[in-house]
Amino acid sequence: MYIYNVTINIEEDVHDKWLNWMQKKHIPDMLKTGKFSNAKMSRVVIEEEMGGITYSIQYTTENKETLEKYYKENAAQLQSEGIALFGGKFVAFRTELDVIFTETTFTN
């Protein structure tokens, strides 16, 4: 399993519009590529010196090769939509995570 992590700091004046767009449009569009099995969006619980609100969006994919296909076939278009709507109002960086071990706990 492989995780494509996008960390985004969004300015507060467009936060609500951006959050709605992420949940209703962008994340569903990412999943519609067929290259990711699920997505998880988390708010990073720190106060940023630069201001804004920071989120981590993690997209799970089968392997590095599938992620490379996303880069080649879908990334430019999907990223450009966010830039067109919110350019200059956010900073983003992307990381790739190779999952080594997963454990699930069960409670009775």
**78-89 per-position pLDDT tens digit:** 999 999 999 899
- pLDDT at residue 46, as a whole number: 83
- pLDDT at residue 78, as a whole number: 96
Strands (E), the chain: 2-10, 38-43, 53-61, 90-98
pTM of the entire structure?
0.90
**25-76 per-position pLDDT tens digit:** 999 999 999 999 999 999 999 877 788 999 999 999 999 999 999 999 999 9
Give the architecture-level CATH label for domain 2-98.
Answer: 2-Layer Sandwich (3.30)
pLDDT interval class at 108 (50, 70, 90): low
In the chain, domain spans: 2-98
Q: Is 33 exposed, middle or buried (0-12, 13-18, 19+ CB in 10 A)?
A: middle
Tokens of 29: 């569009």
- pLDDT at residue 55, as a whole number: 97
